[in-house]
Amino acid sequence: MSADGPVPEEKLIAWITERLERFPAWAKTYQSEGGPARLTQEAVGLLCAFGLAERTTEGVRARPAAARYAVRPEPSGGAR
């Protein structure tokens, strides 16, 4: 999810699919057909249940408490 606005669930599923392919030993329960979609649905469901995210017509939106911890791109060319 992004602090900039809702993220379509398809984009979240694609991100999870990429991670599962990159780390095949991770989350073995979700490595099967349809696994990334199931993992996304379960994760988003938990975040929503705890009030950290909400589903909108545009996708999934991080609520303010979660938005503080959103992953942002690292600045390029700068010192850390």
The Cβ-side half-sphere exposure at 29, using a 13 Å CA radius, reads 4
Tens of pLDDT, residue by residue over 7-37, are 999 999 999 999 999 999 988 899 999 999 9
Q: What angle do CA 67, 45, 14 make, to 5 degrees?
A: 75
Q: What is the pLDDT of residue 47?
A: 92
Tens of pLDDT, residue by residue over 32-65, are 999 999 999 999 999 998 888 999 999 999 888 7
| Average pLDDT estimate for 65-75 | 68
Rounded CA separation 28/64 (Å): 32
